Amino acid sequence: GGIGSKLCGRLVVEKKKTAIIYLLPALDGDLKTMTFLQEVVDILLAYITESFDRETKVIDFHYPNELLQRNNWELQDEPETLDDILISCRATLKYAIKTAHPRYFNQLSTGLDMVGLAADWLTSTANTNMFTYEVAPVFVLLEYVTLKKMREIIGWEDGRGDGIFSPGGAISNMYAMLLARFKMFPEVKEKGMSSVPRLAAFTSEHVAAFNEMHQTGNVIRLREELSHFSIKKGAAALGIGTESVICIKADESGKMIPADLERKILEAKQKGFVPFFVSATAGTTVYGAFDPLIAISDICKKYQVWFHVDGAWGGSLIMSRMHKWKLDGVERANSVTWNPHKMMAVPLQCSALLVREEGLMQNCNQMHACYLFQQDKHYDLSYDTGDKALQCGRHVDIFKLWLMWRAKGTIGFEAQIDKCLELSEYLYNKIKDREGYEMVFNGKPQHTNVCFWYLPPGMRYMEDKEEKKKRLHKVAPVIKARMMEYGTTMVSYQPQGDKVNFFRMVISNPAATFEDIDFLIEEIERLGQDL
Amino acid sequence: GGIGSKLCGRLVVEKKKTAIIYLLPALDGDLKTMTFLQEVVDILLAYITESFDRETKVIDFHYPNELLQRNNWELQDEPETLDDILISCRATLKYAIKTAHPRYFNQLSTGLDMVGLAADWLTSTANTNMFTYEVAPVFVLLEYVTLKKMREIIGWEDGRGDGIFSPGGAISNMYAMLLARFKMFPEVKEKGMSSVPRLAAFTSEHVAAFNEMHQTGNVIRLREELSHFSIKKGAAALGIGTESVICIKADESGKMIPADLERKILEAKQKGFVPFFVSATAGTTVYGAFDPLIAISDICKKYQVWFHVDGAWGGSLIMSRMHKWKLDGVERANSVTWNPHKMMAVPLQCSALLVREEGLMQNCNQMHACYLFQQDKHYDLSYDTGDKALQCGRHVDIFKLWLMWRAKGTIGFEAQIDKCLELSEYLYNKIKDREGYEMVFNGKPQHTNVCFWYLPPGMRYMEDKEEKKKRLHKVAPVIKARMMEYGTTMVSYQPQGDKVNFFRMVISNPAATFEDIDFLIEEIERLGQDL
């Protein structure tokens, strides 16, 4: 790098009267700092107003190479002025995706809650780490209070149990798998997998099923990769291996078939595998299906297998009196993943892992780092949570959820969730018999996922089924690309199993309205009619 | 929970004129939203000014049970008003630790950079996820630009290689171990550890060495837990087992002894273990020692073992022309952990893993989730980075580092780092011959870690060595507890090996000055003189 070839840094900094030198902690830096931060806030407030305005684009899309050209993004040896910094902030937001936009439906996490945002600004300002009570007294307490509340809602007696906020659902699921393995074979911690028989984990083939597509010449082959993305990733990382993740058949609407689970458990045992972990899903990524938790828990109990519920997406429905029945049986789980950053629209990231057994997380992950967790501290050490997880430092993800909960109350979250489900039912009713639409699965969706194909007029009466399929497969990608180029809306698509590319509409954005759903349909038809 | 026993949520919300209903996305919510966010910002700006004021306390400390009583932290069914929300924000900050305070020295991550803070506020406002270019175009590009720059500085040709920002150093180190294992035994991904011989990983006993202390009656036993906290945690999680982490002897100043590494590698091979991973440390947690990277890399090359450098704490010294020699040899590493949230004072969290071999991260971790990583997208898919890591969603940690870099330039980071090292040298010179102080190791520290005992006057001439040791062990905890009760400063302490509790002073806070170091010494003497 060019570091070695320059004049003394400090001299240059002073000569150019640049960004950092007059800001706090500089002497008399207060005024300059307040002015600068206020200018940034003004930029952010303007961006927020714009984000909620339907007249603005969801995204000002540019291809990577083009975006690289559009601005100077390079890092230099020399500092910039504060004015340049403000320009960079504006440029970054200009090309950012407006995830708060009422017509942004692309991901499971959408929307921007104003109280959650305020809380996140406060979190950044407090700039601390969750590992000990000593360095994050309030946040550690709030995590304690909130996890207890979440466990009460799950249905665990007096909210007893344990838990942690982790960096996302995939890590929460991996932590659960780690606990399940440690519970059955505590010696794995010291001796590794060589001390353990071959393990088997089970999850629905439909759980966020994913596919790898190969285009070989003219032939489109769909190779089905069965099983959950994060469960497989976890198994690979933990040294269990993806082949030990056994996929359970799902019914037409994407729910795990309990009889197949029992069959596969027996089969695995016969082959010498030790079943240790079943991950049932409450709200699959693509279909939004809820596995039958009670039946699954009975099987787990019978075969003494850890019962995990991955409610990253659907767990929040337990906040709704109208929809919580979909999670019946979750109270029997050994562990539950629940991501408030999805259906509760808490700013990213906010993922909870709830664990029934107290003390297990500590035993599984602790290494007694005395420089952090001094046992002779002067306060109750049960609040030093850092040794419960693999991470040492842990980002403060709790405050935004806690403050939103205070602002809305449980009933506010309920109203918000109910409204999103109402919107998705509206969408479903609108398109299920509409010309040019085909539903990917029959019946009313259980979550806000509505999966459908749009058939452009020219394709509706095609005779050649294979040719039709092949052409249909290309429709959603083109419409999506056009959506992004116009910047009017965004919705996800994917293939699944033998089903070619279809749209997966999800609604988690509290800003969306019936009119936005109407708009989405009009836009798909406008952008797809010539295909 | 009480969800089931209330009136309809929405009715109650409207009746109480509460927090959420008038904020965006509510119709005409703009004014109310802007007013609310501005009020929050005013609270934050006041907190920032206060944090840098030496007249304020670092912490208004209360024991957990007392803090629980001091405020109503509970979550309710009913919403609160916006005024209540502002009160909660103030209460949270009142009891928070002021990590920006010039006299807060407790952790490796201290300080609050104003440009970094502004960037983090922007990141929260943009509220997106790093997994694809589609949902985070600018941030994905900035990660690309910044990682490339970091690799150039490391010394990799043209900045080639790969990398990712992960949720902290422990996860970065675990990712490195995962890559090393996959590189040597790619079949582990599918087949798990049962397809792999017993592995051995190596790290310095002194690398953040930690201890477990038992007080049995009057006898204090120190059981040395040899090896790195995160390396052991990683080995436990990955199914390798903590017994496979082999500790290499360190010299008196905490540096790994290369000859012992070679001996232990040979020993492990003789026992049938396959050495796969050496983690050298650039800046140990307690002593701040830098392992001799060149000698270690030669051994790694000879035995074809993955050479990882854990520079979470000390990696940033490569930004300094004066101190970068301490990292000589890092350019030979297969992977490097480097946490800008430590010595570069980037707001938490910001941890980079740099990887020399291109494509390996993708091969190791990818599972082809088609609902995210559609191969028929209309842009260059190499920018969809989500499949490089275990996480699916990934928090945007890049923008604060990038914007700070723009504001300071490389030379600004250099000046900041040099200043912290200058302060620690000042501290070292001040106490090394001062009455009542004993250094834990001889010689000038290589990083900002200064490790020392303070002996209260009554203990200085004690004859009984064992009794003296026993009493000395209790000094630092009492002084620390008093510091927290007075709230004047905070510094860490811990035992190490057979060494009883000592202070570990670290300086990463750009706000600290020579006077703050003087103050720390005065405060230790004031609070400890009667012990």
Q: Å from A432 to nearest chain B CA?
A: 22
Q: Do A75 and B2 touch (CB under 8 A)?
A: no
What was the pLDDT predicted at A89?
98
Distances (CA, A) of B390 to A51, A312, A393, B283: 31, 16, 18, 27
CA-nearest residue to A108 within chain B is B393
Q: Do A210 and B368 touch (CB under 8 A)?
A: yes
Q: Does the residue B241 lie in any domain?
A: yes
Q: Does the residue B502 lie in any domain?
A: no
Residue pair B276/B200 in contact by the 8 Å Cβ criterion: yes
Looking at the structure, tell me whether residues B278 and B170 fall in a common domain: yes
Q: Does the residue A253 lie in any domain?
A: no
CA-nearest residue to B70 within chain A is A138
Q: Do B92 and A122 touch (CB under 8 A)?
A: yes
Q: Does the residue A18 lie in any domain?
A: yes
- The contacts of residue B105 (CB under 8 Å, 6+ apart) are B489, B490, B491, B492, B505, B506, B507, B509, B512, B520
- C-alpha to C-alpha distance for A508 and A510, rounded to whole angstroms: 6
Q: Do A238 and B243 touch (CB under 8 A)?
A: no
Left, alpha or beta for B314 (phi > 0: left; psi -120 to 50: alpha)? Answer: alpha
- Is it the case that residue A12 has pLDDT exceeding 80? no
Nearest to B365 among A24, A129, A233 (CB): A233
What was the pLDDT predicted at B216?
27
- C-alpha to C-alpha distance for B350 and B201, rounded to whole angstroms: 26
Q: With helix as H, strand as E and coil as C, how does A28-56 read? A: CCHHHHHHHHHHHHHHHHHHHHHHCCCCC
Looking at the structure, tell me whether residues B86 and B203 fall in a common domain: no
Nearest to B100 among A127, A234, A368 (CB): A127
Residue pair B504/A371 in contact by the 8 Å Cβ criterion: yes
Nearest to A168 among B236, B371, B393 (CB): B393
Nearest CA to A151 among A413, A334, A303? A334
CA-nearest residue to A504 within chain B is B371
Q: Do B370 and A496 touch (CB under 8 A)?
A: yes
Q: Does the residue B408 lie in any domain?
A: no
CA-nearest residue to A395 within chain B is B349
CA-nearest residue to B212 within chain A is A368
Q: Does the residue B140 lie in any domain?
A: no
Average pLDDT, chain A: 90
Q: Å from B258 to nearest chain A CA?
A: 25
The DSSP bridge partners found for residue B308 are B279, B335
Q: Could you tell me whether strands A492-496 and A499-505 are parallel, antiparallel, or unpaired per DSSP bridges?
A: antiparallel
Q: Does the residue B391 lie in any domain?
A: no
Looking at the structure, tell me whether residues B89 and B167 fall in a common domain: no
Q: Do B244 and A167 touch (CB under 8 A)?
A: no
- C-alpha to C-alpha distance for B449 and B428, rounded to whole angstroms: 9
**A118-176 confidence digits (pLDDT tens):** 999 999 999 999 988 989 999 999 999 999 999 999 999 999 999 999 999 999 999 99
Q: Is residue A220 very low, low, confident or very high in pLDDT (cuts 50, 70, 90)?
A: very low
- pLDDT tens digits in sequence order for chain B, 531 residues long: 344 344 334 444 444 555 567 899 998 899 999 999 999 999 999 999 999 999 999 999 999 999 999 999 999 999 999 999 999 999 999 999 999 999 999 999 999 999 999 999 999 999 999 988 989 999 999 999 999 999 999 999 999 999 999 999 999 999 999 999 999 999 999 999 999 999 999 999 876 333 333 232 222 223 333 335 789 999 999 999 999 999 999 999 999 999 999 999 999 999 999 999 999 999 999 999 999 999 999 999 999 999 999 999 999 999 999 999 999 999 999 999 999 999 999 999 999 999 999 999 999 998 765 455 566 777 766 777 777 888 888 999 999 999 999 999 999 999 999 999 999 999 999 999 999 999 999 999 999 999 999 999 999 999 999 999 999 999 999 999 999 999 999 999 998 888 999 999 999 999 999 999 999 999 999 999 999
Nearest to A23 among B114, B208, B319 (CB): B114
Peptide bond preceding B362: is omega within 30 degrees of 0, i.e. cis? Answer: no
The single-letter code of the amino acid at A317 is L
CA-nearest residue to B172 within chain A is A391
In what helix (H) or strand (E) does residue B215 lie, and over which residues does it extend? strand B210-216
Q: Does the residue A123 lie in any domain?
A: no
Q: How many CB atoms sit inside 10 A of residue B262's CB?
A: 17
Question: Coil, helix or strand for B249?
Answer: coil
Left, alpha or beta for B282 (phi > 0: left; psi -120 to 50: alpha)? Answer: beta
- The contacts of residue B465 (CB under 8 Å, 6+ apart) are none
- C-alpha to C-alpha distance for A473 and A456, rounded to whole angstroms: 12
Q: With helix as H, strand as E and coil as C, how does A361-373 read? A: HHHHHCCCCCCCC
Domain limit, last residue, from B50, B83, B98: B98
**A394-419 confidence digits (pLDDT tens):** 999 999 999 999 999 999 999 999 99
- Which residues on A lie below 8 Å from B45 (Cβ)? 34, 37-38
What was the pLDDT predicted at B12?
45
Size of interface A-B (CB pairs under 8 A): 593
Nearest CA to B234 among B180, B188, B183, B164? B180
- Is it the case that residue A11 has pLDDT exceeding 80? no
How big is chain B, counted in residues? 531
Nearest to A153 among B1, B141, B390 (CB): B1
Q: Do B190 and A124 touch (CB under 8 A)?
A: no
Burial of A68 (0-12, 13-18, 19+ CB in 10 A): middle
Q: Do B193 and A239 touch (CB under 8 A)?
A: yes
Nearest to A97 among B107, B128, B374 (CB): B128
Q: With helix as H, strand as E and coil as C, how does A456-507 read? A: CHHHCCCCCHHHHHHHHHHHHHHHHHHHHHHCCCECEEEEECCEEEEEEECC
In percent, the amount of chain A with pLDDT more than 70 equals 90
What was the pLDDT predicted at B497?
82
Domain limit, last residue, from B66, B98, B130: B98
- C-alpha to C-alpha distance for B46 and A182, rounded to whole angstroms: 47
Nearest to A126 among B96, B242, B504 (CB): B96
ipTM over 0.90: yes
How big is chain A, counted in residues? 531
Both structure tokens of A179: 């606990």
Locate all alpha helices (DSSP H) within B340-397, ordered by sequence: 360-365
Instruction: Tell me the CATH number at B269.
Output: 3.40.640.10
Instruction: Tell me the CATH number at B72.
Output: 3.90.1150.170
In what helix (H) or strand (E) does residue B430 lie, and over which residues does it extend? helix B398-431
| Total domain count, chain B | 2
What was the pLDDT predicted at A496?
86
Looking at the structure, tell me whether residues B93 and B208 fall in a common domain: no
CA-nearest residue to A220 within chain B is B376
Structural domain harbouring B26: 2-98
Domain limit, last residue, from B77, B98, B119: B98
Looking at the structure, tell me whether residues B206 and B336 fall in a common domain: yes
A-interface mutation test, from B132, B371, B440, B513, most A Cβ less than 10 A away: B371
- C-alpha to C-alpha distance for A145 and B68, rounded to whole angstroms: 9
- Which residues on B lie below 8 Å from A419 (Cβ)? none
Residue pair A364/B239 in contact by the 8 Å Cβ criterion: no
